[in-house]
Chains A and B, each alone.
Chain A
């Protein structure tokens, strides 16, 4: 399929979480993700946004290509997310890092302007 980009700016308020989930579902459906893969990507973004606070808006970019969705979330001013994603998870603890390690194929943090950060997530379609 042709690579496409979808950009979204959404309120961080919890009321809008279902809207974001619905959009992610629609995007992932385009690349034929399975139910669980869609759920994984939705969960990854949902947990990330939960750490980003409830006030203001957040920008998200979804790059879709053959069998994959690359998501960029931010810039975010919540730098503790970067710390949480870079430190190894202590045994027995369920950290944001461990959650993302489980539900997406790769993730990373980029420095953005003004000391803010952008989180990258990549989810690939499994063998089907």
Chain B
């Protein structure tokens, strides 16, 4: 290991050394510089990984997952960015760890029967909506699927919870920065400002399809069933996209 990799990464000096290593790696393909960057920032990964210890995963495994996020951050870092590597890498590391927990959590926590019920729910809702020309009740969905209303509600929530976790816990694209996970933001309370209920600026950052769904729902006032027909998705999917989009916009404002 070279001297640079043993020096602390904090402070202006550490940041400058990082930038030099990043420049060597990105402009000259110096993989040794990349390795040094990884080693210099592993303590950051360990520190972040410790926050997720005690959740049924070995700390070592969490650190391994976090290191993947660090490597991605190093590989994607743009030298034009006026931000330190540590700041840039933190949400990537945390996002990777959360994605790991999300993916594993789904398999571990949700009983297979509930997963299957959730999977069959969408089709049942579509069939019933067509058959009855209205949104079916929970009891009707339960009847269609030969189960109980409580099971239907639970299965619906399983699907919702999965989507919610993916919102706040795992970016949908590999290069997306989780807005919840900027340094120092996670444990603080919400800021108090009156513009936080106004979602307009965040609206423009959504993908075109999501913007269009929100426009149809909240400007045209179309029901989910009609939106689903227009965009070629299931009603359940439309419902989740609306919730996800609104939550994402809200998080961007915080």
Query: Is this pair of chains taken from one and the same complex?
Result: yes
Q: Are B194 and A26 in contact (CB under 8 A)?
A: no
Q: How far is the CA of A35 from the CA of B243 in the complex (A)?
A: 15
| Given A21-B157, A35-B138, A36-B235, 16 further pairs, Cβ under 8 A | A18-B160, A26-B150, A29-B138, A29-B149, A35-B125, A36-B135, A39-B239, A43-B243, A51-B197, A51-B250, A80-B197, A92-B200, A93-B203, A94-B200, A97-B197, A128-B137
Interface residues of A (CB under 8 A from B): 14, 17-18, 21-22, 25-26, 28-29, 32-39, 43, 46-47, 50-51, 53-55, 78, 80-81, 83-84, 90, 92-99, 102, 126-128
Q: Are B192 and A90 in contact (CB under 8 A)?
A: no
Number of interface residues of B (CB under 8 A): 44
Q: How far is the CA of A50 from the CA of B164 in the complex (A)?
A: 13
Min CB distance A106 to B, Å, is 15
Q: Are B247 and A34 in contact (CB under 8 A)?
A: no
Q: Are B225 and A22 in contact (CB under 8 A)?
A: no
Q: Are A43 and B190 in contact (CB under 8 A)?
A: no
Residues of B within 8 A of A46 (CB): 243
Q: Are A43 and B200 in contact (CB under 8 A)?
A: no
Name the segment of B19-27, B42-50, B215-223 touching the other chain: B215-223
Q: How far is the CA of A77 from the CA of B179 in the complex (A)?
A: 25
